[in-house]
């Protein structure tokens, strides 16, 4: 039997069946030249692409890759306070791709879409030497969307979740650790990691391969008018904070002692050859929300800290640049983190 994918029309039929939806806002979905949608007055749109050997390895779990491909886009909508509605997906696939690999990728996309109320309404297919998954997500923007440009001097600086877990998970994957389909952690030689060491390794790897967008938090911040500016932490806390500060024409001071560095960073510092503070600051792909809060709104934010694992980490300043206070000493924080075009 010939290996590889069936003809394009057969793949489209397969995808149309997988993503079939009956929603009043989807007038025409997969199968025509374009989707026809009942769009809201304010539409938020974002897109992202995951590329083999750059964003993931060829032996990555395709189901989790599908989940991640959608969820990293949803994280951008979360940073705007938008409610997701629809997605279109473009796939580049080598002709020898196994049909069961595509089925697993589709299942991951479908799972993530169902979890967040997203209808997949179209896309594109192309033969490609390497796999790429490009997702565009559209959603309803609030009347006053969260932007990067609203921070003011005196605002408090908050972040949700922990920092550095995804970067540590990437270190584990690069070292050869894997999650099996049975959710066991396998070491570089394919052996099951002992039970007492497995849970933390599994948690770190999941942070990397299956991020969770903070949509509920973003909507709460926007609809409650609680945040003055926001950005999702995709390329590292430091780099994304600089982006927010430049957009708002402000500076910031971060207290190192307040950073919610993931608890496992210290435990794995020696094994993974990482510095916990540097990993928390520059690691990237945490996909929490970094946001600023005016003084008059801080009591309302504090009431949400337990529900959303929020941590105040600093203050917005008048001026430019970002500073880090560590052990009572203040120093410039480098504008460093992930960059697609770093040499």
Query: What percent of the chain is modeled with pLDDT above 90?
Result: 91
pLDDT of residue 167: 97
Residue 195 pLDDT class (50, 70, 90 cuts): confident
- Residues written for the chain: 343
The mean pLDDT of 109-117, rounded to a whole number, is 98
The whole domain housing 31 covers 8-140
**CATH code of the domain in which 307 resides:** 3.90.650.10
Number of domains composing the chain = 2
Residue 146 counted as domain residue: no
Residue 148 counted as domain residue: no
pTM to 2 decimal places: 0.94
Residue 311 and residue 237 share a domain:
yes
The mean pLDDT of 287-306, rounded to a whole number, is 97
Residue 130 and residue 160 share a domain:
no
What are 156-183's pLDDT values in tens digits?
999 999 999 999 999 999 999 999 877 7
pLDDT at 196 over 90: no
Residue 134 and residue 160 share a domain:
no
pLDDT at 343 over 70: no
Residue 250 counted as domain residue: yes
In order, the DSSP letters of 45-80 are EEEEEEEBTTTB-TTS-HHHHHHHHHHHHHHHHHHH
In terms of Cα–Cα distance, which of 252, 263, 235, 339 is closest to 291? 252
**CATH code of the domain in which 83 resides:** 3.30.1330.10
Residue 121 and residue 166 share a domain:
no
The mean pLDDT of 22-28, rounded to a whole number, is 95
Residue 150 counted as domain residue: no
d(CA 111, CA 100): 16
Q: Which phi and psi angles does 120 have, rounded to 5°? A: -85, 115
d(CA 255, CA 108): 38
What are 64-99's pLDDT values in tens digits?
999 999 999 999 999 999 999 999 999 999 999 999
In order, the DSSP letters of 219-287 are HHHHHTT--SEEEE-SS-HHHHHHHHHHHHT-EEEEEGGG--B-THHHHHHHHHT--HHHHHHH-----
Residue 340 counted as domain residue: no
pLDDT of residue 341: 72
The set of residues, in sequence order, having a beta carbon less than 8 Å from that of 67 and lying 6+ positions away, is 108, 109, 111, 112, 210
Residue 184 pLDDT class (50, 70, 90 cuts): confident
Residue 259 and residue 132 share a domain:
no
The mean pLDDT of 179-188, rounded to a whole number, is 85
d(CA 22, CA 119): 9
Residue 306 and residue 186 share a domain:
yes
Residue 322 and residue 242 share a domain:
yes
The mean pLDDT of 179-201, rounded to a whole number, is 87
Residue 255 and residue 112 share a domain:
no
Mean of the per-residue pLDDT values for the chain? Answer: 95
Residue 120 pLDDT class (50, 70, 90 cuts): very high
The mean pLDDT of 50-73, rounded to a whole number, is 95
Residue 222 and residue 91 share a domain:
no
Residue 1 pLDDT class (50, 70, 90 cuts): very low
DSSP 8-state class, residue 157: E
Residue 145 counted as domain residue: no
Residue 52 and residue 108 share a domain:
yes
pLDDT at 19 over 90: yes
d(CA 219, CA 223): 6
């Amino acid at each position: 039997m010939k290996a590889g994918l069936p003809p394009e029309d057969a793949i489209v039929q397969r995808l149309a069946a997988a993503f079939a939806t009956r929603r009043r806002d989807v007038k025409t979905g997969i199968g025509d030249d374009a989707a026809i949608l009942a769009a809201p007055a304010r539409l938020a749109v974002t897109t992202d692409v995951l590329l083999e050997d750059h964003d993931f390895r060829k032996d990555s779990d395709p189901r989790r890759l599908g989940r991640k491909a959608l969820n990293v886009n949803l994280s951008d909508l979360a940073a705007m306070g938008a409610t997701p509605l629809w997605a279109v997906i473009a796939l580049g696939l080598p002709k020898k791709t196994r049909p069961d690999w595509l089925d697993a990728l589709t299942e991951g996309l479908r799972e993530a879409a169902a979890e967040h109320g997203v209808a997949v309404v179209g896309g594109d297919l192309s033969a490609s030497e390497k796999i790429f998954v490009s997702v565009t997500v559209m959603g309803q923007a609030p009347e006053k969307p969260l932007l990067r440009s609203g921070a003011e001097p005196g605002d408090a600086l908050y972040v949700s979740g922990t920092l550095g877990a995804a970067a540590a998970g990437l270190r584990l994957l690069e070292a050869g650790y894997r999650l099996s389909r049975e959710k066991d952690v396998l070491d570089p030689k394919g052996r099951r990691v002992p039970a007492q060491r497995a849970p933390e390794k599994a948690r770190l790897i999941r942070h990397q391969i299956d991020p969770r967008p903070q949509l509920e938090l973003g909507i709460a911040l926007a609809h409650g008018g609680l945040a003055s500016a926001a950005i999702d932490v995709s390329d590292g806390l430091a780099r994304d904070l600089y982006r927010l500060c430049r957009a708002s024409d402000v500076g910031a001071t971060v207290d190192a002692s307040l950073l919610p560095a993931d608890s496992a960073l210290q435990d794995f510092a020696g094994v993974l050859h990482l510095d916990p503070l540097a990993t928390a600051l520059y690691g990237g792909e945490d996909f929490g929300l970094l946001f600023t809060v005016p003084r008059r709104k801080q009591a309302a934010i504090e009431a949400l800290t337990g529900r959303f694992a929020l941590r105040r980490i600093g203050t917005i300043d008048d001026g430019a640049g970002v500073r880090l206070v560590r052990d009572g000493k203040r120093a410039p924080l480098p504008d460093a983190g992930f960059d697609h075009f770093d040499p």
